[in-house]
Amino acid sequence: MDFKTIKDEILKHPNGEKYLTAAFTHRSYATEHHLDYDNQRLEFLGDAVLELVTSSYLFTRYPKAKEGDLTAIRAAMVREETLAMLARNLKLGGKLLSGKGERELQGHKRNSTLADLFEALLGACHIACGYEKTCEFLIEILEENIPDPVLSFKQFNPKGELQELTQKHLGLTPQYKVILISGPPHCPCYDVEAVAGKFVAPGHGSSKREAEGKAAQKLRDYIASTLGVE
């Protein structure tokens, strides 16, 4: 699945070009050019479509999975980092209209911005093409990029993996400390530490969650290596 395929389908709708333009208009661009639209409303719609489609997909694919397991796997599939990865693979970021300041800060490469853009595109697709076609597109994109959702859940859930490891082998739950918040208010960067007893590892990211995830992954690998466990 590529963006051109989705774009061509959306443009078949009488207002398709309007929906696409809105989907790729960042609020900074709308403010700078005094527009009465941006992609936030479409993002809201796309978020709902995404949750419904992934829920139905996982319910069908894993008929014996428990509700809690399905919820955890879905959370990994729709998390910011995953959606940003899908947006990058579709090469959406370079098409985003953003304000001068946002462009200078390379905002179109930020995970949060790309995740919002992906959801906005789903919203535009839903309005122009309907639920069934949007579902078809999304499932194809997911299967191309996330062939094994369970494995992806483990890979994209470093905090859960760390907690499982520390509770099993150390008898404690890891803690996270914010060490530093830097950068401008609209684009902060976070430095955190993941701590489990005497074990400590740092993490850096454009959001607290991203920084904690990176710290958790480093700490898990460090503890596993030190203790000689998987």
155-180: per-residue pLDDT in tens?
667 888 889 899 999 999 999 999 99
Structure tokens at 220: 């898990």
CA distance 215 to 192: 7
Q: Would you kindly state where each structural domain of the chain is located, as residue ranges?
A: 3-154, 158-227
Tell me the C-alpha distance between 142 and 37, whole Å. Answer: 29
Helices 111-129 and 3-11, packing angle to 10 deg: 40
Smallest CA-to-CA distance from 48 within 72, 19, 78, 73 is with 78
Exactly one of 9, 38, 43, 47 is catalytic; which is it?
47
Active site residue 47: yes
Superfamily name with CATH number, domain 3-154: Ribonuclease III domain (1.10.1520.10)
- Given the residues 9, 80, 102, 119, the one annotated as active site: 119
The fold adopted by the segment(s) 158-227 is Double Stranded RNA Binding Domain (3.30.160)
- The per-residue pLDDT for range 110-154, each reduced to its tens digit, is 888 999 999 999 999 999 999 999 999 999 999 999 998 887 776
